[in-house]
Homo-oligomer: A and B are copies of this chain.
Amino acid sequence: MRSVSIIGIGLTQFGERWDKSLRDLVAEAGIAAVKDAKIVGNEIEAVYGGTMASGRLVGQEHIGALIADQLGLNPLPAHRMEAACASGSVALRNAMMSIIAGEHDVVAVGGVEKMTEVDTAEVGFALGGAGDQETELFHGATFPALYALMAKRHMHEFKTSEEQLAQVAVKNHKNGMNNPFAQFHKEFTIEDVMNSGYVATPLKLLDCSPITDGAAVVIIAETQKAKKMCEQPIEIIGSGQASDTLALASRPNLTELRATKLAAKIAYEKAKVSVKDIDLAEVHDCFSVAEILAIEDLGFFKKGEGGKATEQGKTSMQGEIPINTSGGLKACGHPVGATGVKQVIEIVQQLQGRAEKRQVKGAKIGLTHNVGGSGATCVVHILKHAMGKR
């Protein structure tokens, strides 16, 4: 059975990139990834890209072909995947399958979103398409509202407090201070978060991830080939994906994401590791409550204890399991299609010992968790150094 490893990574600066168009961002990250992989580019056999809403945000579809075109990779087969905020991870999974199937040996996988060219209301409507347009967005339920419902229920059932939610934001902004690619380099206190305005009770402005431009690209290769091409290939030892109902109201329980639990179960089984083997994780903190749900659903903490664990510092850089060392979606920003690929890049840097001030000492196995919509798609990847180093 063939397996897949990452041999190169490339990121743009995340933020309000009024200096660069969607295609410029793709090129910036793509060139960085090719350079990092120390290849010239003609080893690449296919292109996969994840983008959510480029049709509404910049009037451009056909993003796979655009990426191939912009990177000078015509006439390679080029694919765009869309699974809302999980688009990047779904693109990576399908690129992996093309390698495991023997169709390709080396593939470029990108994620990109250009969100700041339209006004915030239009971004809200575009992102609303990640949920159930007919039964949610049409009636005014935008994403902060949907996650607020989950937060309310979690608070009701488990006595999770608004201060505990705020701790997620405080921690991730602290981590983001050490990530040069993050949108925000600014620390916040619990009071700052608590005093920021409500967007949808109980979620406040500083509980929400921002609107961001950015791109992320990884070069992946069949593992035996990767070992010859690269000094520190990082193998994807397990990968799982699951779906759930689009609409929140169709689910039996608001305090867990079933797709996270199932995707994680599949990924752990494929990787032949247990939750205890995971040294660090990048999880989908689109809202502070989403990180609480994630660290419970992934099995790091028991259901209902995520808020308390966060408050106790168990997910901090020095904690039991550092979560979102990159700064997460909260501080890095959330260029939707790019996020899943960016999460993988953070884990690669950690496992290669290249995370500088964010380095988790002795990190051997890392996990990424990427959610589409309010949980209708979830992808979990588990990564490990392919040379057994570190």
Contact = CB atoms under 8 A, between A and B. Distances in A.
A199 to B, nearest CB: 21
Interface string A235-246: 000000111111
Given A61-B130, A100-B102, A243-B64, A79 B83 contact: yes
A79 B81 contact: yes
A55 B81 CA distance: 14
Interface string A89-124: 010011001101111000000000000000000000
Contacts of A372: 62, 65
Interface stretch (A70-78, A211-219, A300-308, A356-364): A70-78
A53 interface: yes
| Residues of A contacting B: mostly | mixed
A74 B245 CA distance: 7
A83 B97 contact: no
Nearest to A64: B83
A15 interface: no
A279 to B, nearest CB: 26
B59 A82 contact: no
A328 interface: no
25 contacts: A1-B102, A52-B61, A58-B133, A60-B129, A61-B82, A62-B246, A62-B373, A63-B82, A64-B90, A66-B376, A69-B243, A69-B246, A75-B244, A75-B258, A75-B262, A77-B93, A77-B241, A77-B243, A78-B83, A79-B83, A80-B81, A97-B97, A97-B101, A98-B101, A100-B101
